[in-house]
Amino acid sequence: MFLEPHFSGQRSGWIEVICGSMFSGKTEELIRRLKRARIAGQKVEIFKPKIDTRYGESKVVSHDSNSLLATPISDTSKLLGVSEDVTVVGLDEAQFFEDAVVDHVIELANRGKRIVIAGLDMDFRGKPFGPICQLLAVAEYITKVHAICSHCGALATHSYRKTQSQDTVVLGETDLYEARCRRCYGMGNILDLK
């Protein structure tokens, strides 16, 4: 499906979204697609929200320690400044971008670029996270990936927060979150006691 097509003579680009819970492999899949685009000789640029400081500022890093260099941005209008010869633009942790990211990626796709976006579809409450719903609506291609439920081994769709904080944004890893299937997520903190 993702064949690193050649862009010469092509009039418009497209938008791909990779979504799922924490630990579902979104960043690995993003890195895989972007590495293949580079192997195909295409110029790739990667951006992430400045807010995500977990692994140092200038990288996207998977939970398995795969990484690619990325530019941290706090305002997605910066995307519009990518140079003409960049044909593929990657965005990680897209749930943290402001709503205007939607118009900016549409503009880039209209200019003929391929945009590959990874982000959480739901927050810890199980509600749509940031601009992801709108990005899903405008994308040509959507991939939902799944983690493994930390409690029962089923496919996990939810990110369960292990602390009491009610803030939507709380950066963290396995210290604060675990992947859970629908059933185990619904059981809430009863499972914490086991």
Ligand X SMILES: Cc1cn([C@H]2C[C@H](O)[C@@H](COP(=O)(O)O)O2)c(=O)[nH]c1=O
Ligand Y SMILES: Nc1ncnc2c1ncn2[C@@H]1O[C@H](COP(=O)(O)OP(=O)(O)O)[C@@H](O)[C@H]1O
In the complex, the residues that contact ligand Y under the rule CB under 6 A are: 20, 22-28, 62-64, 147-148, 150, 179
**Residue 57 is among the residues annotated as catalytic for this protein:** no
How many residues sit in the footprint of ligand X (CB under 6 A)?
A: 15
The annotation status of 26 as a binding-site residue, yes or no, is yes
Q: Binding mask 37-76 vs ligand X (x if CB under 6 A, - otherwise)?
A: -----------------x----------------------
- Mapped to the 3 state alphabet, what secondary structure does the chain carry? CCCCCCCCCCCCCEEEEEEECCCCCHHHHHHHHHHHHHHCCCCEEEEEECCCCECECCEEECCCCCEEECEEECCHHHHHHCCCCCCEEEECCHHHCCCCHHHHHHHHHHCCCEEEEEEECECCCCCECCCHHHHHHHCCEEEEECEECCCCCCEECEEEECCCCCCCCCCCCCCCEEEECHHHHHCHHHHHHC
Q: Which is nearer to ligand Y, 87 or 150 (CB)?
A: 150
Establish if 108 lies at the interface with ligand X (CB under 6 A): no
Told to check if 181 binds Zn ion by CB under 5 A, we report yes
The entry of ligand Y, ligand X, Zn ion, none near residue 168 (CB within 5 to 8 angstroms by kind) is ligand X
Of ligand Y, Zn ion, ligand X, none, which one does residue 45 interact with (CB within 5 to 8 Å by kind)? none
Flag whether 19 is marked binding. no
- Contacts of residue 41, defined as CB under 8 A and 6 or more positions apart, other chains included, come to none
Name the catalytic one among 93, 98, 140, 173: 93
Tokens 């200019």 identify what position?
Answer: 111
Residues that bind ligand X (CB under 6 A): 22-23, 26-27, 54, 120, 123-124, 159, 168-172, 177
As annotated, the binding site includes 20-27, 92-95, 149, 152, 169-172, 177, 181, 184
As annotated, the binding site for substrate includes 169-172, 177
